Amino acid sequence: DRESDWRAFLPTHVLHFAIFLVLTWLSGGYLGLVLGAVLMGYMSYFVGSYAVASGHPFTGALASWVPWSVLRVLAFVLFGTLFARPLLVRRIWPFEREEGKLMALAASGLLADVLIKAFFAPGYGVFLRQMAGKLLP
């Protein structure tokens, strides 16, 4: 399963992040918002599909919004906010010490996302399949 093996999901995560940063930097944040919306739509489709299939939309939606995905979204939002700045202030690298601290915070969110997902996703996938099996008619 791609979502349970870090060797399978990490290249995709890195690619999405790299594209997101470049698009954000080049467009002052606008294209990063577009990619962010696409990625959120992808996750929301999974959450909605699982919630409907489980027969219990609220419980299914809560169970399928996994904590590591929430960390990733928050980190992307912070990085997106920071990397929109160069175009807006017309300097290639306008970051100083304070922004460096925020980048470190965002990077720690991405690192936590990967580590938590690598450790918990295999078991959590089993949990979701079992939960859906119990909830489905």
**pLDDT beyond 90 at 56:** no
Task: Compute the distance between CA of residue 48 and CA of residue 62 in angstroms, rounded to an integer.
Answer: 10
pTM: 0.87
Tell me, what amino acid is at 117? Answer: K
pLDDT score, position 41: 95
Taking phi first (over 0 means left), then psi (-120 to 50 degrees means alpha), and beta for anything else, what does residue 55 get? Answer: left
pLDDT score, position 137: 47
Q: Is 117 exposed, middle or buried (0-12, 13-18, 19+ CB in 10 A)?
A: buried
pLDDT in tens, 69-85: 999 999 999 999 999 99
In the predicted model, what is the mean pLDDT of residues 54-82? 91
Residues whose CB falls within 8 Å of the CB of residue 107, separated by 6 or more in sequence, listed in order:
75
> Is residue 135 very low, low, confident or very high in pLDDT (cuts 50, 70, 90)?
low
pLDDT score, position 4: 86
In the predicted model, what is the mean pLDDT of residues 45-62? 88
Share of the chain above pLDDT 70, in %: 97
Query: Residue 87 in contact with residue 129, Cβ under 8 Å?
Result: no
Residue 90 is given by DSSP the state: T
